[in-house]
Amino acid sequence: MSEERTQPDWVYKDKRPEADREYFENLARCIFQAGLSWQLMTKKWPNFQRAFENFDIAKVAAYGAEDIRRLSEDASIIRNRQKILSIIHNAREFERIARENGSFQAWLDSMDKSNNYDRVVKSLRSRFKRVGPGTAHIFLWSVGEKIEYDPTVHTRQPTKIV
């Protein structure tokens, strides 16, 4: 991602999130963002925060059929059922990672980040739903990791990220 661009407020530039909840929210944002405009997500994001209870990992991990129905009917968010289900799955994966490693950040810090985070990207893709190479790269960039823009992953560079 180009350093000359103005960083949106949800991007952790020169720092990292302080809590797993912030990592989880950024991952959810990157998943819902896929295929949509940055401007649309910026406009709708407060609705996502409300609908997903401020991305409280334990609450989202406990979501069941009624919550899925509620989210699928909420016109103020993107009602993509597969993305909604992936966020619930991913909350449960965040809990597993925290149990195994103490926190998501500890898990991330324990990984080999050589070759522009190749192994980290593969781990993210294998553990989390709806995370492809592009989503993984944008997520890592958004949480302050020093990942470089990779033209083999991104078919086009974003013109404006808000």
How high is the mean pLDDT of the chain? 90
Q: In which residue are the tokens 């619930």 written?
A: 88
Domains of the chain listed by start with CATH number: 20-142 (1.10.340.30)
d(CA 27, CA 30): 5
Q: Is the pLDDT of residue 154 over 60?
A: no
Please indicate whether residue 68 or residue 152 has the higher confidence score (pLDDT): 68
Q: What integer pLDDT is reported at residue 5 of this predicted model?
A: 55
Q: What integer pLDDT is reported at residue 2 of this predicted model?
A: 45
Both ends of the chain: CA-CA distance in Å? 13
User: What average pLDDT does range 2-28 have in this prediction?
Assistant: 84
Q: Is the pLDDT of residue 134 over 70?
A: yes
Q: What integer pLDDT is reported at residue 129 of this predicted model?
A: 98
What confidence category does residue 1 fall into, taking pLDDT thresholds of 50, 70 and 90? very low
Global pTM reads: 0.89
Whole-number CA gyration radius for the chain:
15
* Backbone region of residue 47 per phi and psi (left: phi > 0; alpha: psi in -120 to 50; beta: other values): alpha
Q: What integer pLDDT is reported at residue 9 of this predicted model?
A: 81
Residue-wise pLDDT tens digits, 73-113:
999 999 999 999 999 999 999 999 999 999 999 999 999 99
d(CA 133, CA 88): 20
Please indicate whether residue 116 or residue 49 has the higher confidence score (pLDDT): 49
Q: What integer pLDDT is reported at residue 153 of this predicted model?
A: 61
Q: Is the pLDDT of residue 66 over 90?
A: yes
Q: What integer pLDDT is reported at residue 109 of this predicted model?
A: 96
d(CA 131, CA 139): 9
Q: Is the pLDDT of residue 7 over 80?
A: no
